[in-house]
C-alpha cells in the first residue's frame, strides 16, 4: 500500500505539473493572439485618424476656397464702387480682409492635414506593423526560453531523478533493514546453539552484507539528496523565470509593440492643434479689428465727410450784397415816422419769435423722443434674437412661429407710423423756422 500511495502521489504531482504546463502554453498562445489583435486595433486607429484628418483637410480646403472666392468677388466689386460712408467702408474693408486671412489659415490647415499629418500617420502605420512583427518574434523567443526553463528537459527530469533516487533509497533502506533483521536472527540462533565456527563465519558474512547495504544506502541517499537539491533549484529557477517573464518581460514586450505609437499620435495631434491655434489667433485678431471698426461706425463723421467731398454742392455759396445808391448808408434809417413803423414791426417780430421759439423747443423735445422710438423700432424690427442664444437652439413649436411674425408686422407698421410723425413734425419745424 505504501508503494501504491507513493506511485499515486508521484503520478499526482506529475499530472499537476503537466496540467500547469498545458495552461501555461495556452496562456502564452493567448498573449500572442492579444498582441496580434492589438496591432490590428492600433492600425485601425491610425487609419481612422489618418482618414479623419484627410477628410477634415478636404473640408478645410473647400471652406478656404469658398471663403477666398467670396472675398475675391466682393473685393473687385468694392474697388470699383464709389467710396461713400468712410466708416461703413472701413467695416466692409475689415470684413473682407479678415475673411481673406481666415481663408489663408484654413487653407494652411487643410494642407497640413492632407499632407504632413497623413504622411506622418502612414509612417506610423508602417512602424507599428514592423515593430509588431519584430516584437512578436522577440516574444515568441522569450516564451521559448521560458518553456525551455520550465519544461520536462530540466524540471521533469529533475523530478523523475529525484523520485527514482528516492525509490532507490527506499529500496536500499529496505535491503539494509532486511540484512539487519537477518543478522539479528542469526545472532539469536547462534546464542541458542552456542558459539561455533560456522556461526562466526555466517555472522561475519552478514556483517559484511550489512556494511555493503549501508554503503549502498548512503550512496543512494547522497544521490537522492543531490537529485532533490537539483529538483528544488530547478523549481526555484522555473519560478524565477515565470516571475521575470510575467512581471517584467510581458510589459517590455508590449512596450516594444507600442514603441513610438503614442509619441506619433501626440506629434500629429500637436501639429494639428498648432495649426488650429493659428487659425484661432488670426480669427480673434480679425474679430477684434472688425469689432473696433463697428464701434467706429459714425453717422455724423460720414455726413461731414460727404459734405467735404461734395464741397462745391454743399458750401454756402455767397452772401446777398447790399447795393446802395451813392451816399446811401448801409444802416437802417429810422427817422421819426419810419422809426415808429420799424419799432412796431420789431415788436411784432419779437413776439412772433418768442412764440416760435417756444413751439420749436416743444417740437424739438417731441422730435428727440420720436427719433429714439424710431431707432429702437428699427433695430428691434427682426424681433431681436438675443445674441447669447444661437437661433438654431431655440426650437419653437410649429404653430408658435406665427406669433413673432405678427408682432414683427405690427412693429414694422408702428415704425412707419412713427416715421411719418417724425417727418411731419420735422417739416413743421423747418417751415416754422423758415418763416419770418
**Footprint of a copy of itself on residues 269-298 (CB under 8 A)?**
269-271, 273-278, 280, 283-284, 287, 290-291, 294, 297-298
Query: What's the rounded Cα separation, in Å, for the pair 104 and 387?
Result: 28
What's the min distance (Å) between Cβ of 208 and a copy of itself? Answer: 24
Query: What's the rounded Cα separation, in Å, for the pair 332 and 82?
Result: 50
Binding mask 391-430 for a copy of itself (x = CB under 8 A): xxx------------------x--xx--x---x--xx--x
Considering only residues 13 to 52 of the shown chain, the ones binding a copy of itself according to CB under 8 A are 13, 16-17, 20, 23-24, 27, 30-31, 34, 37-38, 41-42, 44-45, 48-49, 52
What's the min distance (Å) between Cβ of 302 and a copy of itself? Answer: 7
Cα dist. 55→207, 263, 272, 274, 322 in Å?
98, 22, 13, 18, 83
Nearest of 261, 271, 263 to residue 53 by alpha carbon:
271
* Cα torsion 82, 86, 88, 91: sign: positive
Which residue from 1, 197, 333, 400 is in contact with a copy of itself, where contact means CB under 8 A? 333
Considering only residues 173 to 202 of the shown chain, the ones binding a copy of itself according to CB under 8 A are none
Which residue from 7, 8, 18, 123 is in contact with a copy of itself, where contact means CB under 8 A? 123
Cα dist. 425→154, 259, 300, 413, 432 in Å?
115, 83, 22, 18, 10
Query: What's the rounded Cα separation, in Å, for the pair 420 and 432?
Result: 18
Residues contacting a copy of itself: total by CB under 8 A: 182
Q: Does 319 bind a copy of itself (CB under 8 A)?
A: yes
Q: CB under 8 A: which stretch of 126-134, 180-188, 352-360, 396-404 binds a copy of itself?
A: 126-134
User: CA 249: distance to chain centroid?
Assistant: 32
Query: What's the rounded Cα separation, in Å, for the pair 255 and 35?
Result: 11
Query: What's the rounded Cα separation, in Å, for the pair 419 and 220?
Result: 125
With b for 16 or more beta-carbon neighbours within 10 A and e for fewer, the 174-197 pattern comes to: ebbeebeeebeebeeebeeeeeee
Binding mask 54-83 for a copy of itself (x = CB under 8 A): -xx--x--xx--xx--x--xx--xx--xx-
Q: CB under 8 A: which stretch of 105-113, 174-182, 198-206, 207-215 binds a copy of itself?
A: 105-113
Name the residue nearer to a copy of itself (CB basis): 176 or 374.
374
Give 63's contacts (C-beta < 8 A, 6+ positions apart): 106, 110
Considering only residues 85 to 104 of the shown chain, the ones binding a copy of itself according to CB under 8 A are 85, 87-88, 91-92, 95, 99, 104
Name the residue nearer to a copy of itself (CB basis): 209 or 237.
237
Which residue, chain included where needed, has cell 419770418? 436
What's the min distance (Å) between Cβ of 153 and a copy of itself? Answer: 14
Decide: helix, strand or coil at residue 318. coil
What's the min distance (Å) between Cβ of 222 and a copy of itself? Answer: 7
Q: Does 343 bind a copy of itself (CB under 8 A)?
A: no
Considering only residues 222 to 241 of the shown chain, the ones binding a copy of itself according to CB under 8 A are 222, 225-226, 228-229, 231-233, 235, 237-241
Amino acid at each position: 500500500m505504501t508503494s501504491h500511495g507513493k506511485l499515486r502521489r508521484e503520478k499526482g504531482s506529475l499530472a499537476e505539473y503537466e496540467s500547469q504546463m498545458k495552461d501555461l502554453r495556452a496562456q502564452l498562445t493567448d498573449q500572442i493572439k492579444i498582441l496580434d489583435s492589438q496591432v490590428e486595433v492600433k492600425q485601425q486607429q491610425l487609419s481612422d485618424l489618418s482618414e479623419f484628418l484627410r477628410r477634415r483637410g478636404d473640408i478645410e480646403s473647400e471652406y478656404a476656397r469658398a471663403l477666398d472666392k467670396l472675398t475675391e468677388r466682393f473685393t473687385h466689386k468694392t474697388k470699383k464702387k464709389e467710396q461713400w460712408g468712410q466708416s461703413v467702408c472701413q467695416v466692409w474693408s475689415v470684413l473682407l480682409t479678415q475673411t481673406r486671412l481666415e481663408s489663408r489659415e484654413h487653407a494652411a490647415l487643410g494642407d497640413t492635414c492632407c499632407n504632413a499629418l497623413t504622411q506622418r500617420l502612414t509612417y506610423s502605420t508602417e512602424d507599428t506593423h514592423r515593430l509588431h512583427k519584430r516584437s512578436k518574434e522577440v516574444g515568441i523567443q522569450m516564451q521559448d526560453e521560458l518553456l525551455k526553463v520550465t519544461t520536462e528537459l530540466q524540471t521533469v527530469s529533475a523530478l523523475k531523478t529525484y523520485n527514482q533516487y528516492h525509490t532507490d533509497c527506499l529500496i536500499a533502506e529496505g535491503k539494509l533493514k532486511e540484512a539487519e533483521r537477518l543478522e539479528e536472527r542469526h545472532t539469536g540462533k547462534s546464542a541458542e546453539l552456542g558459539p561455533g565456527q560456522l556461526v562466526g563465519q555466517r555472522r561475519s558474512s552478514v556483517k559484511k552484507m550489512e556494511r555493503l547495504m549501508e554503503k549502498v544506502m548512503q550512496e543512494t541517499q547522497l544521490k537522492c539528496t543531490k537529485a532533490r537539491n537539483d529538483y528544488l533549484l530547478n523549481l526555484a529557477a522555473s519560478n524565477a523565470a515565470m516571475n521575470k517573464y510575467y512581471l517584467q518581460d510581458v510589459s517590455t514586450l508590449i512596450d516594444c509593440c507600442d514603441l513610438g505609437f503614442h509619441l506619433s499620435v501626440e506629434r500629429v495631434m500637436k501639429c494639428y492643434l498648432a495649426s488650429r491655434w493659428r487659425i484661432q489667433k488670426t480669427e480673434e485678431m480679425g474679430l477684434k479689428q472688425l469689432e473696433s471698426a463697428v464701434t467706429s461706425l459714425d453717422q455724423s463723421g460720414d455726413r461731414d465727410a460727404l459734405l467735404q467731398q461734395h464741397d462745391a454742392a454743399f458750401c454756402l455759396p455767397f452772401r446777398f450784397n447790399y447795393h446802395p445808391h451813392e451816399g446811401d448808408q448801409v444802416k437802417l434809417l429810422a427817422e421819426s415816422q419810419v422809426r415808429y413803423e420799424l419799432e412796431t414791426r420789431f415788436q411784432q417780430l419779437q413776439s412772433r419769435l418768442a412764440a416760435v421759439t417756444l413751439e420749436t423747443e416743444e417740437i424739438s423735445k417731441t422730435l428727440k423722443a420720436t427719433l429714439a422710438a424710431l431707432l429702437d423700432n428699427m433695430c428691434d424690427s427682426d424681433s431681436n434674437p438675443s445674441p447669447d442664444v444661437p437661433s438654431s437652439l431655440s426650437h419653437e413649436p410649429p404653430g408658435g412661429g406665427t406669433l413673432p411674425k405678427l408682432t414683427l408686422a405690427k412693429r414694422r407698421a408702428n415704425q412707419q407710423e412713427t416715421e411719418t410723425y417724425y417727418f411731419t413734425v420735422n417739416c413743421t419745424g423747418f417751415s416754422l423756422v423758415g418763416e419770418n
